[in-house]
Amino acid sequence: MTRHCPGVTEGNSTMKRAAIVLVAGLVVISQSKAIGESCYETMVRSPTPFMGNNGEILKLSDGSVWEVKGAYEYLYEYYPAVIICPSRGKLIVEDKTIDVEPIASGKVAAEKDQGITESVIVSDFDGLEQGNIYKLANGEVWEQVEPWTWIWIWIGPTVKIYPASGGYKMKVQGIDHPVFVKRLN
């Protein structure tokens, strides 16, 4: 929904291409890619499809990495255009507002991927359980240190391992809850 700002005319050079937009209760100013001071347009690069469910790790086209918190949207969106509001911890996709938490900034993630590992579990995988050892296709070996169990038999699930709260969390494809892990090699 686009709203016009009283007192601003089309001829005003600073607001010529801008519009005030009301998105999910947030008033933001859209001017090319930047939206307001703390929101901007970007695109979800991974995962595909993007579901918008709790624990999902997403990478945006600006290189930033985020974790979805407390949402279960089941969007099934492939490379959706989104508005991210980092200072508010909000991701807006279509008409949905989703709480997100930053994992890595775009600049740092683009420079050295912020220690994020994306791979496939090549060892037998029958779910998550404290003490399980997971061998990845990239040669890394990780142990689950969090006491959390989820039975899930899967051949070659993809994983993302990322820094979190002084350790590392592993998010397994198809399981909403990421678990704390430690690297063994």
Answer for the pair 97, 25: CB distance below 8 angstroms, yes or no. yes
Three-state SS at 78: coil
Tokens of 6: 């009283």
Say which range, 31-35, 45-49, 79-83, 141-145, has the weakest mean pLDDT: 31-35
Tokens of 26: 């947030």
Domain coordinates in residue numbering, the chain: 2-35, 39-111, 116-183
Q: Which region holds residue 50: left if phi is over 0, alpha if psi is between -120 and 50, else beta?
A: beta
Give the chain's mean pLDDT. Answer: 78
Provide the pLDDT for residue 115: 75
Residue 135 and residue 156: Cα distance in Å, rounded? 10
Provide the pLDDT for residue 3: 37
pLDDT digits (tens, 9 = 90+) for 106-127: 554 444 455 788 999 988 899 9
Which range of 7-11, 12-16, 56-60, 79-83 scores highest in mean pLDDT? It is: 79-83
